[in-house]
A and B are shown apart, each in its own frame.
Chain A
Amino acid sequence: MTWQKRWLRLTHVFFVILLLVQLLPDRSAKETAQGALIIFAIAVEVLTLLASAFIKRQESLALLLDIVGFIYVLLTVWSLATAKFNILNDVLFPAPGRVLAQFAEDREKILVNIASSLGITIEGFLLAAVVAVPLGLFLGWNARLGGAATYISKFFSSIPPIVYIPYGIALLPTFRSVSVFVIFLATFWPVFAGTMSGVLNVDRRIVDSAKVLNVSKPEMLFSVILPASLAQIFLGCNQGLSVSFILLTSAEMIGARDGMGYYVKYYSDFGDYTRTITGLLVIGIVVIAVTFLFNKLQQYLLRWKR
Protein backbone atom coordinates (compact mmCIF):
# COMPACT_ATOMS: atom_id res chain seq x y z
CA MET A 1 0.00 0.00 0.00
CA THR A 2 1.34 3.44 -0.86
CA TRP A 3 1.24 6.13 1.82
CA GLN A 4 -1.30 8.08 -0.23
CA LYS A 5 -3.64 5.09 -0.23
CA ARG A 6 -3.17 4.74 3.48
CA TRP A 7 -3.55 8.33 4.63
CA LEU A 8 -5.15 10.51 1.92
CA ARG A 9 -8.72 9.32 2.23
CA LEU A 10 -12.06 11.06 1.82
CA THR A 11 -13.10 9.87 5.28
CA HIS A 12 -10.74 12.36 6.91
CA VAL A 13 -12.26 15.19 4.85
CA PHE A 14 -15.68 14.17 6.19
CA PHE A 15 -14.23 14.36 9.70
CA VAL A 16 -13.05 17.93 9.11
CA ILE A 17 -16.43 18.90 7.61
CA LEU A 18 -18.18 17.45 10.68
CA LEU A 19 -16.01 19.61 12.96
CA LEU A 20 -16.46 22.71 10.80
CA VAL A 21 -20.24 22.28 10.87
CA GLN A 22 -20.04 22.42 14.67
CA LEU A 23 -18.72 26.03 14.35
CA LEU A 24 -22.12 27.14 13.08
CA PRO A 25 -24.33 28.68 15.79
CA ASP A 26 -27.04 26.47 17.31
CA ARG A 27 -30.60 27.38 16.31
CA SER A 28 -32.31 24.85 18.53
CA ALA A 29 -33.57 26.13 21.85
CA LYS A 30 -32.86 22.74 23.41
CA GLU A 31 -29.60 21.55 24.85
CA THR A 32 -27.48 20.16 21.98
CA ALA A 33 -24.50 18.79 23.94
CA GLN A 34 -22.19 19.72 21.11
CA GLY A 35 -19.15 18.92 23.27
CA ALA A 36 -20.10 15.25 23.47
CA LEU A 37 -20.35 15.06 19.70
CA ILE A 38 -16.94 16.69 19.21
CA ILE A 39 -15.29 14.42 21.76
CA PHE A 40 -16.88 11.37 20.15
CA ALA A 41 -15.81 12.44 16.65
CA ILE A 42 -12.22 13.06 17.75
CA ALA A 43 -12.09 9.74 19.58
CA VAL A 44 -13.36 7.91 16.48
CA GLU A 45 -10.84 9.74 14.30
CA VAL A 46 -7.92 8.95 16.61
CA LEU A 47 -8.88 5.25 16.67
CA THR A 48 -9.30 5.24 12.90
CA LEU A 49 -5.88 6.80 12.37
CA LEU A 50 -4.31 4.30 14.76
CA ALA A 51 -5.99 1.44 12.93
CA SER A 52 -4.89 2.89 9.57
CA ALA A 53 -1.28 2.65 10.71
CA PHE A 54 -1.56 -1.04 11.52
CA ILE A 55 -4.04 -2.59 9.06
CA LYS A 56 -2.15 -4.51 6.40
CA ARG A 57 -4.81 -5.54 3.90
CA GLN A 58 -5.99 -2.77 1.61
CA GLU A 59 -9.56 -4.13 1.49
CA SER A 60 -9.87 -4.15 5.29
CA LEU A 61 -8.67 -0.56 5.51
CA ALA A 62 -11.06 0.57 2.77
CA LEU A 63 -13.94 -1.15 4.58
CA LEU A 64 -13.12 0.50 7.90
CA LEU A 65 -12.72 3.94 6.31
CA ASP A 66 -16.00 3.61 4.39
CA ILE A 67 -17.89 2.74 7.55
CA VAL A 68 -16.29 5.54 9.57
CA GLY A 69 -16.93 7.93 6.66
CA PHE A 70 -20.59 6.95 6.72
CA ILE A 71 -20.76 7.68 10.46
CA TYR A 72 -19.25 11.18 9.92
CA VAL A 73 -21.68 12.02 7.10
CA LEU A 74 -24.61 10.74 9.15
CA LEU A 75 -23.57 12.84 12.17
CA THR A 76 -23.04 15.90 9.96
CA VAL A 77 -26.47 15.66 8.33
CA TRP A 78 -28.07 14.82 11.65
CA SER A 79 -26.57 17.80 13.46
CA LEU A 80 -27.38 20.12 10.55
CA ALA A 81 -31.01 19.00 10.54
CA THR A 82 -31.41 19.27 14.33
CA ALA A 83 -29.06 21.55 16.24
CA LYS A 84 -27.90 23.81 13.43
CA PHE A 85 -31.01 24.53 11.33
CA ASN A 86 -33.72 23.04 13.56
CA ILE A 87 -35.60 21.64 10.55
CA LEU A 88 -37.00 18.69 12.49
CA ASN A 89 -39.17 18.66 15.58
CA ASP A 90 -36.63 18.92 18.41
CA VAL A 91 -38.71 16.84 20.80
CA LEU A 92 -38.87 13.86 18.48
CA PHE A 93 -35.39 14.35 17.05
CA PRO A 94 -32.68 15.08 19.63
CA ALA A 95 -29.34 16.43 18.45
CA PRO A 96 -26.61 13.78 18.02
CA GLY A 97 -24.60 15.23 20.89
CA ARG A 98 -27.48 14.68 23.27
CA VAL A 99 -27.81 11.03 22.33
CA LEU A 100 -24.08 10.53 22.82
CA ALA A 101 -24.20 12.33 26.16
CA GLN A 102 -27.17 10.20 27.19
CA PHE A 103 -25.21 7.13 26.26
CA ALA A 104 -22.41 8.16 28.58
CA GLU A 105 -24.76 9.20 31.36
CA ASP A 106 -26.84 5.98 31.25
CA ARG A 107 -23.92 3.62 30.68
CA GLU A 108 -24.46 1.63 33.87
CA LYS A 109 -28.19 1.29 33.31
CA ILE A 110 -27.54 0.30 29.71
CA LEU A 111 -24.98 -2.33 30.72
CA VAL A 112 -27.41 -3.86 33.22
CA ASN A 113 -30.09 -4.05 30.53
CA ILE A 114 -27.70 -5.53 27.98
CA ALA A 115 -26.59 -8.13 30.52
CA SER A 116 -30.21 -9.04 31.21
CA SER A 117 -31.12 -9.35 27.52
CA LEU A 118 -27.97 -11.27 26.62
CA GLY A 119 -28.33 -13.59 29.60
CA ILE A 120 -31.82 -14.62 28.51
CA THR A 121 -30.80 -14.99 24.86
CA ILE A 122 -27.75 -17.08 25.62
CA GLU A 123 -29.61 -19.29 28.05
CA GLY A 124 -32.50 -20.00 25.68
CA PHE A 125 -30.19 -20.39 22.71
CA LEU A 126 -27.78 -22.78 24.41
CA LEU A 127 -30.61 -24.88 25.85
CA ALA A 128 -32.12 -25.17 22.37
CA ALA A 129 -28.81 -26.05 20.72
CA VAL A 130 -27.92 -28.64 23.35
CA VAL A 131 -31.26 -30.40 22.84
CA ALA A 132 -31.81 -29.83 19.11
CA VAL A 133 -28.40 -30.88 17.77
CA PRO A 134 -28.17 -34.37 19.33
CA LEU A 135 -31.85 -34.99 18.63
CA GLY A 136 -31.45 -33.87 15.02
CA LEU A 137 -28.35 -36.03 14.61
CA PHE A 138 -30.09 -39.06 16.03
CA LEU A 139 -33.35 -38.69 14.09
CA GLY A 140 -31.61 -37.65 10.87
CA TRP A 141 -29.37 -40.68 11.06
CA ASN A 142 -32.27 -43.05 11.65
CA ALA A 143 -33.82 -42.86 8.22
CA ARG A 144 -37.19 -44.29 9.26
CA LEU A 145 -37.92 -41.71 11.95
CA GLY A 146 -36.23 -38.96 9.98
CA GLY A 147 -38.97 -38.64 7.36
CA ALA A 148 -41.72 -38.03 9.89
CA ALA A 149 -39.50 -35.74 11.97
CA THR A 150 -38.91 -33.50 8.95
CA TYR A 151 -42.64 -32.87 8.52
CA ILE A 152 -43.29 -32.49 12.23
CA SER A 153 -40.52 -29.91 12.55
CA LYS A 154 -41.90 -28.09 9.50
CA PHE A 155 -45.27 -27.86 11.21
CA PHE A 156 -43.93 -26.54 14.50
CA SER A 157 -41.41 -24.18 12.96
CA SER A 158 -44.21 -22.61 10.89
CA ILE A 159 -45.85 -21.31 14.08
CA PRO A 160 -44.36 -17.85 14.78
CA PRO A 161 -42.82 -18.31 18.25
CA ILE A 162 -44.19 -14.95 19.44
CA VAL A 163 -47.68 -16.46 19.67
CA TYR A 164 -46.42 -18.74 22.42
CA ILE A 165 -45.93 -15.75 24.69
CA PRO A 166 -49.47 -15.56 26.17
CA TYR A 167 -49.47 -19.29 26.81
CA GLY A 168 -45.95 -19.08 28.21
CA ILE A 169 -47.07 -16.37 30.63
CA ALA A 170 -49.92 -18.61 31.81
CA LEU A 171 -47.58 -21.59 32.06
CA LEU A 172 -44.45 -20.20 33.67
CA PRO A 173 -43.91 -18.22 36.88
CA THR A 174 -41.56 -15.41 35.85
CA PHE A 175 -41.09 -13.14 32.89
CA ARG A 176 -37.53 -14.37 32.58
CA SER A 177 -38.57 -18.02 32.30
CA VAL A 178 -41.19 -17.09 29.68
CA SER A 179 -38.52 -15.30 27.65
CA VAL A 180 -36.11 -18.22 27.89
CA PHE A 181 -38.93 -20.56 26.88
CA VAL A 182 -39.88 -18.50 23.84
CA ILE A 183 -36.26 -18.13 22.72
CA PHE A 184 -35.80 -21.84 23.23
CA LEU A 185 -38.73 -22.52 20.88
CA ALA A 186 -37.57 -19.92 18.38
CA THR A 187 -34.10 -21.44 18.21
CA PHE A 188 -34.97 -25.09 18.63
CA TRP A 189 -36.85 -25.61 15.36
CA PRO A 190 -34.43 -23.95 12.95
CA VAL A 191 -31.45 -25.65 14.62
CA PHE A 192 -33.24 -28.98 14.63
CA ALA A 193 -34.29 -28.61 10.98
CA GLY A 194 -30.77 -27.49 10.03
CA THR A 195 -29.21 -30.46 11.78
CA MET A 196 -31.64 -32.89 10.14
CA SER A 197 -31.04 -31.54 6.67
CA GLY A 198 -27.30 -31.48 7.36
CA VAL A 199 -27.35 -35.14 8.34
CA LEU A 200 -29.48 -36.13 5.36
CA ASN A 201 -27.09 -34.32 3.01
CA VAL A 202 -23.84 -35.79 4.31
CA ASP A 203 -21.87 -37.14 1.36
CA ARG A 204 -22.42 -40.89 1.03
CA ARG A 205 -18.69 -41.33 0.46
CA ILE A 206 -17.85 -39.79 3.84
CA VAL A 207 -20.28 -42.17 5.54
CA ASP A 208 -18.74 -45.13 3.69
CA SER A 209 -15.30 -43.95 4.63
CA ALA A 210 -16.32 -43.94 8.29
CA LYS A 211 -18.06 -47.31 8.01
CA VAL A 212 -14.98 -49.06 6.70
CA LEU A 213 -13.07 -47.70 9.70
CA ASN A 214 -15.56 -49.61 11.85
CA VAL A 215 -16.47 -46.58 13.98
CA SER A 216 -18.84 -47.09 16.89
CA LYS A 217 -22.32 -45.60 16.76
CA PRO A 218 -21.61 -42.63 19.08
CA GLU A 219 -18.42 -41.94 17.13
CA MET A 220 -20.33 -42.08 13.87
CA LEU A 221 -22.78 -39.48 15.18
CA PHE A 222 -20.42 -37.13 16.99
CA SER A 223 -17.06 -37.54 15.25
CA VAL A 224 -18.34 -37.94 11.69
CA ILE A 225 -21.94 -36.89 11.10
CA LEU A 226 -21.77 -33.87 13.43
CA PRO A 227 -18.74 -32.21 11.82
CA ALA A 228 -19.95 -33.20 8.35
CA SER A 229 -23.26 -31.40 8.90
CA LEU A 230 -21.84 -28.50 10.93
CA ALA A 231 -22.27 -25.93 8.14
CA GLN A 232 -26.02 -26.60 7.99
CA ILE A 233 -26.30 -26.60 11.78
CA PHE A 234 -24.76 -23.13 11.82
CA LEU A 235 -27.26 -22.02 9.20
CA GLY A 236 -30.04 -23.02 11.58
CA CYS A 237 -28.26 -21.37 14.52
CA ASN A 238 -27.90 -18.08 12.65
CA GLN A 239 -31.58 -18.14 11.81
CA GLY A 240 -32.47 -18.93 15.42
CA LEU A 241 -30.21 -16.18 16.71
CA SER A 242 -31.72 -13.45 14.56
CA VAL A 243 -35.28 -14.52 15.42
CA SER A 244 -34.29 -14.63 19.10
CA PHE A 245 -33.36 -10.94 19.14
CA ILE A 246 -36.59 -9.92 17.47
CA LEU A 247 -38.59 -11.99 19.92
CA LEU A 248 -36.74 -11.00 23.03
CA THR A 249 -36.93 -7.26 22.42
CA SER A 250 -40.62 -7.62 21.53
CA ALA A 251 -41.25 -9.63 24.67
CA GLU A 252 -39.35 -7.13 26.79
CA MET A 253 -41.58 -4.37 25.47
CA ILE A 254 -44.65 -6.29 26.65
CA GLY A 255 -43.93 -7.20 30.23
CA ALA A 256 -40.34 -6.98 31.38
CA ARG A 257 -38.71 -5.01 34.19
CA ASP A 258 -35.35 -4.81 32.45
CA GLY A 259 -33.71 -5.55 29.13
CA MET A 260 -33.03 -3.43 26.07
CA GLY A 261 -36.59 -3.66 24.71
CA TYR A 262 -37.86 -2.53 28.10
CA TYR A 263 -35.47 0.46 28.10
CA VAL A 264 -36.74 1.66 24.70
CA LYS A 265 -40.42 1.13 25.54
CA TYR A 266 -40.20 2.61 29.04
CA TYR A 267 -38.62 5.90 27.97
CA SER A 268 -40.71 6.35 24.84
CA ASP A 269 -43.77 6.07 27.09
CA PHE A 270 -42.43 9.12 28.92
CA GLY A 271 -41.70 10.93 25.67
CA ASP A 272 -37.96 10.73 26.34
CA TYR A 273 -36.96 10.25 22.71
CA THR A 274 -33.30 10.90 23.39
CA ARG A 275 -33.17 7.71 25.42
CA THR A 276 -35.39 5.93 22.89
CA ILE A 277 -32.90 6.60 20.11
CA THR A 278 -30.00 5.74 22.44
CA GLY A 279 -31.70 2.41 23.15
CA LEU A 280 -32.27 1.68 19.46
CA LEU A 281 -28.61 2.32 18.67
CA VAL A 282 -27.45 0.17 21.59
CA ILE A 283 -29.64 -2.73 20.41
CA GLY A 284 -28.12 -2.39 16.94
CA ILE A 285 -24.59 -2.41 18.33
CA VAL A 286 -25.25 -5.40 20.60
CA VAL A 287 -26.86 -7.47 17.84
CA ILE A 288 -23.99 -6.68 15.45
CA ALA A 289 -21.43 -7.58 18.12
CA VAL A 290 -23.10 -10.89 18.96
CA THR A 291 -23.51 -11.79 15.28
CA PHE A 292 -19.89 -10.88 14.64
CA LEU A 293 -18.62 -13.07 17.47
CA PHE A 294 -20.88 -15.91 16.39
CA ASN A 295 -19.59 -15.67 12.82
CA LYS A 296 -16.02 -15.77 14.12
CA LEU A 297 -16.86 -18.94 16.03
CA GLN A 298 -18.42 -20.40 12.90
CA GLN A 299 -15.39 -19.51 10.80
CA TYR A 300 -13.12 -21.10 13.36
CA LEU A 301 -15.08 -24.33 13.62
CA LEU A 302 -15.43 -24.57 9.83
CA ARG A 303 -11.85 -23.53 9.09
CA TRP A 304 -11.25 -26.85 7.33
CA LYS A 305 -13.67 -25.86 4.57
CA ARG A 306 -12.15 -24.33 1.50
Chain B
Amino acid sequence: MSTNKIEIKHLTVNYTENKRSFNALHDVSFGVKDGEFVSVIGASGCGKSTLLSVLEGIYQAAGGTVEIDGKELHGTGTERGVVFQHYSLFPWMTTRNNIAFGIKQAQHGLKRSERLRIADEYLGKVGLTGFGSKYPSQLSGGMQQRAAIARALAMNTEILLMDEPFSAIDAKNRVILQELLLSLWEGDGKEPRKTVVFVTHDIDEAILLSDRIVVLTAHPGTVNEIVEVPFARPRNRAELVKTDAYGQFRNKLLSLLYCDVAERIGGEEVVI
Protein backbone atom coordinates (compact mmCIF):
# COMPACT_ATOMS: atom_id res chain seq x y z
CA MET B 1 0.00 0.00 0.00
CA SER B 2 2.98 2.25 0.29
CA THR B 3 2.81 2.91 -3.46
CA ASN B 4 -0.15 5.22 -2.92
CA LYS B 5 0.45 8.94 -3.29
CA ILE B 6 -2.18 9.77 -0.69
CA GLU B 7 -3.02 7.29 2.04
CA ILE B 8 -5.98 8.01 4.32
CA LYS B 9 -6.07 5.71 7.35
CA HIS B 10 -8.96 5.44 9.81
CA LEU B 11 -9.72 9.13 9.56
CA THR B 12 -12.20 10.45 12.13
CA VAL B 13 -13.26 14.08 12.23
CA ASN B 14 -15.50 15.79 14.76
CA TYR B 15 -17.32 18.94 13.91
CA THR B 16 -18.45 21.51 16.43
CA GLU B 17 -21.41 23.66 15.62
CA ASN B 18 -23.44 25.66 18.13
CA LYS B 19 -21.45 24.03 20.91
CA ARG B 20 -22.64 20.60 19.83
CA SER B 21 -20.02 18.25 18.61
CA PHE B 22 -20.89 15.59 16.08
CA ASN B 23 -19.06 12.99 14.14
CA ALA B 24 -18.55 14.27 10.59
CA LEU B 25 -16.31 11.45 9.39
CA HIS B 26 -15.91 8.07 10.98
CA ASP B 27 -13.09 5.64 10.22
CA VAL B 28 -12.57 6.65 6.61
CA SER B 29 -9.76 4.82 4.83
CA PHE B 30 -8.74 4.81 1.20
CA GLY B 31 -5.70 5.46 -0.95
CA VAL B 32 -5.10 7.47 -4.07
CA LYS B 33 -2.46 6.29 -6.52
CA ASP B 34 0.08 8.60 -8.12
CA GLY B 35 -1.48 10.25 -11.17
CA GLU B 36 -4.94 8.99 -10.34
CA PHE B 37 -8.14 11.03 -10.57
CA VAL B 38 -10.42 10.12 -7.66
CA SER B 39 -13.81 11.69 -7.03
CA VAL B 40 -15.55 11.74 -3.68
CA ILE B 41 -19.33 11.86 -3.95
CA GLY B 42 -22.07 11.82 -1.38
CA ALA B 43 -25.27 13.54 -0.37
CA SER B 44 -24.93 16.94 1.25
CA GLY B 45 -23.75 16.72 4.84
CA CYS B 46 -21.88 13.46 4.34
CA GLY B 47 -18.57 15.14 5.19
CA LYS B 48 -17.01 15.09 1.74
CA SER B 49 -15.91 18.73 1.98
CA THR B 50 -14.68 18.11 5.51
CA LEU B 51 -12.57 15.26 4.17
CA LEU B 52 -11.03 17.59 1.62
CA SER B 53 -10.40 20.26 4.28
CA VAL B 54 -8.33 17.70 6.15
CA LEU B 55 -6.37 16.90 2.98
CA GLU B 56 -5.86 20.64 2.41
CA GLY B 57 -4.47 20.87 5.94
CA ILE B 58 -6.88 23.50 7.21
CA TYR B 59 -8.93 21.14 9.35
CA GLN B 60 -7.64 18.92 12.12
CA ALA B 61 -8.62 15.28 12.30
CA ALA B 62 -9.65 13.85 15.66
CA GLY B 63 -8.20 10.46 14.83
CA GLY B 64 -6.42 8.57 12.08
CA THR B 65 -3.77 9.85 9.70
CA VAL B 66 -3.27 11.14 6.21
CA GLU B 67 0.03 10.32 4.53
CA ILE B 68 1.43 11.89 1.40
CA ASP B 69 4.34 9.99 -0.15
CA GLY B 70 4.49 8.00 3.07
CA LYS B 71 4.93 11.09 5.24
CA GLU B 72 2.27 12.07 7.71
CA LEU B 73 0.48 15.29 6.81
CA HIS B 74 0.65 18.28 9.14
CA GLY B 75 -1.01 21.50 8.04
CA THR B 76 -0.96 23.06 4.62
CA GLY B 77 1.75 22.47 2.08
CA THR B 78 2.89 23.65 -1.30
CA GLU B 79 2.79 20.17 -2.81
CA ARG B 80 -1.01 20.52 -2.89
CA GLY B 81 -2.90 22.95 -5.10
CA VAL B 82 -6.50 23.72 -4.18
CA VAL B 83 -9.54 24.96 -6.08
CA PHE B 84 -12.55 25.94 -3.99
CA GLN B 85 -16.14 26.53 -5.00
CA HIS B 86 -15.84 30.22 -4.04
CA TYR B 87 -13.06 32.70 -3.32
CA SER B 88 -10.16 30.68 -4.60
CA LEU B 89 -8.98 33.99 -6.04
CA PHE B 90 -8.31 37.10 -4.00
CA PRO B 91 -10.75 39.77 -5.16
CA TRP B 92 -8.23 42.60 -4.79
CA MET B 93 -5.69 41.09 -7.18
CA THR B 94 -6.04 41.02 -10.93
CA THR B 95 -6.32 37.58 -12.47
CA ARG B 96 -2.68 37.68 -13.55
CA ASN B 97 -1.47 38.80 -10.11
CA ASN B 98 -3.56 36.10 -8.44
CA ILE B 99 -1.80 33.44 -10.46
CA ALA B 100 1.61 35.08 -9.99
CA PHE B 101 0.97 35.21 -6.22
CA GLY B 102 0.27 31.47 -6.23
CA ILE B 103 3.45 30.79 -8.17
CA LYS B 104 5.42 32.91 -5.70
CA GLN B 105 4.15 30.79 -2.82
CA ALA B 106 4.95 27.50 -4.55
CA GLN B 107 8.31 28.43 -6.06
CA HIS B 108 10.27 30.94 -4.05
CA GLY B 109 13.08 32.70 -5.85
CA LEU B 110 11.43 33.15 -9.23
CA LYS B 111 11.69 36.68 -10.61
CA ARG B 112 8.52 38.71 -10.82
CA SER B 113 8.77 39.01 -14.60
CA GLU B 114 9.15 35.23 -14.82
CA ARG B 115 6.12 34.68 -12.57
CA LEU B 116 4.03 36.99 -14.72
CA ARG B 117 5.17 35.18 -17.86
CA ILE B 118 4.11 31.82 -16.41
CA ALA B 119 0.83 33.38 -15.27
CA ASP B 120 0.08 34.55 -18.81
CA GLU B 121 1.00 31.14 -20.18
CA TYR B 122 -1.52 29.42 -17.89
CA LEU B 123 -4.17 32.05 -18.55
CA GLY B 124 -3.80 31.03 -22.19
CA LYS B 125 -4.15 27.35 -21.33
CA VAL B 126 -7.53 27.95 -19.67
CA GLY B 127 -8.71 30.23 -22.47
CA LEU B 128 -8.41 33.51 -20.58
CA THR B 129 -5.85 35.27 -22.78
CA GLY B 130 -6.45 39.01 -22.51
CA PHE B 131 -8.27 38.77 -19.18
CA GLY B 132 -5.14 39.01 -17.03
CA SER B 133 -5.73 42.60 -15.99
CA LYS B 134 -9.35 41.99 -14.93
CA TYR B 135 -10.36 41.67 -11.31
CA PRO B 136 -12.31 38.52 -10.30
CA SER B 137 -15.47 40.61 -9.78
CA GLN B 138 -15.28 41.60 -13.44
CA LEU B 139 -15.34 37.95 -14.56
CA SER B 140 -18.23 35.50 -14.74
CA GLY B 141 -18.33 32.60 -12.28
CA GLY B 142 -17.07 30.23 -14.95
CA MET B 143 -14.15 32.47 -15.85
CA GLN B 144 -13.25 32.84 -12.17
CA GLN B 145 -13.03 29.06 -11.87
CA ARG B 146 -10.92 28.89 -15.02
CA ALA B 147 -8.52 31.36 -13.41
CA ALA B 148 -8.56 29.37 -10.16
CA ILE B 149 -7.66 26.22 -12.09
CA ALA B 150 -4.94 28.15 -13.92
CA ARG B 151 -3.47 29.19 -10.57
CA ALA B 152 -3.56 25.67 -9.15
CA LEU B 153 -1.89 24.29 -12.30
CA ALA B 154 0.65 27.12 -12.54
CA MET B 155 1.81 26.31 -9.01
CA ASN B 156 2.90 23.02 -10.53
CA THR B 157 1.94 20.91 -7.54
CA GLU B 158 1.84 17.12 -7.68
CA ILE B 159 -1.57 16.97 -6.05
CA LEU B 160 -4.70 18.88 -6.97
CA LEU B 161 -7.57 19.12 -4.49
CA MET B 162 -10.87 20.38 -5.86
CA ASP B 163 -13.84 21.13 -3.62
CA GLU B 164 -16.99 21.23 -5.77
CA PRO B 165 -15.28 23.64 -8.16
CA PHE B 166 -18.10 23.65 -10.69
CA SER B 167 -21.13 23.44 -8.39
CA ALA B 168 -21.98 27.13 -8.67
CA ILE B 169 -21.63 27.21 -12.46
CA ASP B 170 -24.59 26.96 -14.84
CA ALA B 171 -25.09 23.60 -16.55
CA LYS B 172 -23.74 24.59 -19.96
CA ASN B 173 -20.53 26.14 -18.67
CA ARG B 174 -20.08 23.32 -16.20
CA VAL B 175 -19.81 20.86 -19.08
CA ILE B 176 -17.29 23.08 -20.84
CA LEU B 177 -15.20 23.41 -17.67
CA GLN B 178 -15.28 19.65 -17.03
CA GLU B 179 -13.92 19.01 -20.50
CA LEU B 180 -11.29 21.71 -20.07
CA LEU B 181 -10.17 20.19 -16.78
CA LEU B 182 -10.07 16.73 -18.33
CA SER B 183 -7.95 17.82 -21.28
CA LEU B 184 -5.56 19.79 -19.05
CA TRP B 185 -5.22 16.84 -16.69
CA GLU B 186 -4.67 14.32 -19.48
CA GLY B 187 -2.14 16.69 -21.04
CA ASP B 188 0.00 15.72 -23.98
CA GLY B 189 1.25 12.54 -22.35
CA LYS B 190 4.78 13.88 -21.89
CA GLU B 191 4.42 15.09 -18.33
CA PRO B 192 3.21 12.89 -15.50
CA ARG B 193 -0.43 13.40 -14.63
CA LYS B 194 -1.34 15.08 -11.39
CA THR B 195 -2.99 13.21 -8.56
CA VAL B 196 -6.47 14.67 -8.19
CA VAL B 197 -9.04 14.40 -5.40
CA PHE B 198 -12.26 15.92 -6.64
CA VAL B 199 -15.29 16.44 -4.41
CA THR B 200 -18.68 16.74 -6.09
CA HIS B 201 -22.34 15.86 -5.70
CA ASP B 202 -22.78 15.54 -9.45
CA ILE B 203 -22.70 11.87 -10.46
CA ASP B 204 -22.19 12.54 -14.17
CA GLU B 205 -19.30 14.85 -13.41
CA ALA B 206 -17.68 12.17 -11.26
CA ILE B 207 -18.08 9.49 -13.93
CA LEU B 208 -16.73 11.61 -16.76
CA LEU B 209 -13.65 12.74 -14.86
CA SER B 210 -12.60 9.95 -12.51
CA ASP B 211 -10.62 6.75 -12.47
CA ARG B 212 -12.29 5.74 -9.22
CA ILE B 213 -15.22 7.12 -7.24
CA VAL B 214 -15.43 7.04 -3.45
CA VAL B 215 -19.07 7.00 -2.33
CA LEU B 216 -19.64 8.38 1.16
CA THR B 217 -22.74 7.92 3.27
CA ALA B 218 -23.76 10.42 5.89
CA HIS B 219 -24.24 10.54 9.69
CA PRO B 220 -21.48 9.85 10.29
CA GLY B 221 -19.59 10.04 7.00
CA THR B 222 -18.21 6.65 6.15
CA VAL B 223 -16.99 5.04 2.94
CA ASN B 224 -19.88 3.09 1.51
CA GLU B 225 -18.01 1.76 -1.48
CA ILE B 226 -15.15 2.58 -3.81
CA VAL B 227 -16.02 2.03 -7.45
CA GLU B 228 -13.69 1.71 -10.43
CA VAL B 229 -14.99 3.68 -13.43
CA PRO B 230 -15.00 1.11 -16.27
CA PHE B 231 -14.76 3.51 -19.21
CA ALA B 232 -11.60 3.90 -21.27
CA ARG B 233 -9.93 7.26 -21.77
CA PRO B 234 -10.04 9.58 -23.59
CA ARG B 235 -13.73 9.80 -22.84
CA ASN B 236 -16.24 11.49 -25.05
CA ARG B 237 -19.19 12.74 -23.07
CA ALA B 238 -21.67 12.79 -25.92
CA GLU B 239 -20.85 9.20 -26.99
CA LEU B 240 -20.50 7.89 -23.46
CA VAL B 241 -23.86 8.97 -22.09
CA LYS B 242 -25.70 7.20 -24.92
CA THR B 243 -24.37 3.75 -24.05
CA ASP B 244 -26.26 1.24 -21.91
CA ALA B 245 -23.18 0.58 -19.83
CA TYR B 246 -23.17 4.21 -18.78
CA GLY B 247 -26.80 4.09 -17.69
CA GLN B 248 -26.24 0.93 -15.68
CA PHE B 249 -23.14 2.31 -14.01
CA ARG B 250 -24.93 5.53 -13.19
CA ASN B 251 -27.84 3.64 -11.63
CA LYS B 252 -25.44 1.59 -9.56
CA LEU B 253 -23.88 4.76 -8.17
CA LEU B 254 -27.30 6.27 -7.52
CA SER B 255 -28.38 3.28 -5.49
CA LEU B 256 -25.11 3.39 -3.53
CA LEU B 257 -25.68 7.08 -2.85
CA TYR B 258 -29.25 6.83 -1.74
CA CYS B 259 -29.63 3.35 -0.26
CA ASP B 260 -29.00 4.67 3.21
CA VAL B 261 -31.52 7.43 2.71
CA ALA B 262 -34.22 4.88 2.00
CA GLU B 263 -33.19 2.81 5.00
CA ARG B 264 -33.35 5.69 7.38
CA ILE B 265 -36.67 6.97 6.19
CA GLY B 266 -37.90 3.47 6.87
CA GLY B 267 -39.74 2.20 3.84
CA GLU B 268 -41.72 5.33 3.08
CA GLU B 269 -41.86 6.20 -0.56
CA VAL B 270 -38.84 8.24 -1.55
CA VAL B 271 -38.78 10.36 -4.67
CA ILE B 272 -35.26 10.94 -5.88
A residues contacting B by CB (< 8 A) are 203, 205-206, 208-215, 223-224, 227-228, 230, 303-306
Contact = CB atoms under 8 A, between A and B. Distances in A.
B39 to A, nearest CB: 19
Interface string B74-100: 001110101010111111110000000
Contacts of A203: 87
A214 B76 contact: yes
Interface string B146-165: 00000000000000010000
Contact of A212 (B82, B90, B135, B136): B82
Contacts of B101: 213, 223
A211 B76 contact: yes
Contact of B84 (A209, A224, A228, A303): A209
B137 A306 contact: yes
Given A205-B84, A209-B87, A304 B92 contact: yes
A220 to B, nearest CB: 11
SS class, residues of chain B in contact with chain A = loop
A216 B82 CA distance: 17
A212 B58 contact: yes
Contacts of B105: 213-215
Nearest to A206: B87
A143 to B, nearest CB: 15
A209 B89 CA distance: 8
B102 interface: yes
SS class, residues of chain A in contact with chain B = helix
Given A212-B82, A227-B90, A228-B92, A304 B58 contact: no
A206 to B, nearest CB: 5
Interface of B: 53, 56-58, 76-78, 80, 82, 84, 86-93, 101-102, 105-106, 135-137, 161
A224 B89 CA distance: 11
Given A209-B82, A209-B90, A223-B101, 11 more contacts: A206-B90, A209-B89, A210-B90, A212-B82, A212-B161, A213-B101, A214-B76, A224-B90, A303-B135, A304-B137, A305-B91
Given A223-B101, A305-B137, A212 B91 contact: no
Contact of B56 (A206, A212, A305, A306): A212
Contact of B76 (A212, A223, A303): A212
Contacts of A228: 90, 92
Contacts of B78: 213-214
Given A206-B87, A304-B135, A306-B137, A212 B57 contact: yes
Nearest to B155: A213
Contacts of B82: 209, 212
A208 B84 contact: yes
A212 B87 contact: no
12 contacts: A205-B87, A208-B58, A209-B84, A211-B58, A213-B101, A213-B106, A214-B78, A223-B101, A228-B92, A303-B135, A304-B136, A306-B137
B102 A213 contact: yes
Nearest to A212: B82
Contacts of B58: 208, 211-212
Nearest to A303: B135
Nearest to A208: B58
Contacts of B56: 208, 211-212
Contacts of B91: 206, 304-305
B142 to A, nearest CB: 17
A128 B92 CA distance: 24
A209 B87 CA distance: 7
A199 to B, nearest CB: 15
Contacts of B87: 203, 205-206, 209
Nearest to A205: B87
Nearest to A230: B92
A227 B90 CA distance: 9
Contacts of B161: 212
A214 B92 CA distance: 18
A217 to B, nearest CB: 13
A101 to B, nearest CB: 50
Contacts of A230: 92
Most buried by A among B56, B92, B137: B92
A185 B204 CA distance: 61
Most buried by B among A208, A211, A224, A303: A208
A102 to B, nearest CB: 47
A230 B58 CA distance: 25
Contact of B88 (A209, A303, A304): A209
B110 to A, nearest CB: 15
A214 B102 contact: no
Nearest to A223: B101
Nearest to A301: B92
A227 B92 contact: yes
Contacts of A208: 53, 56, 58, 84
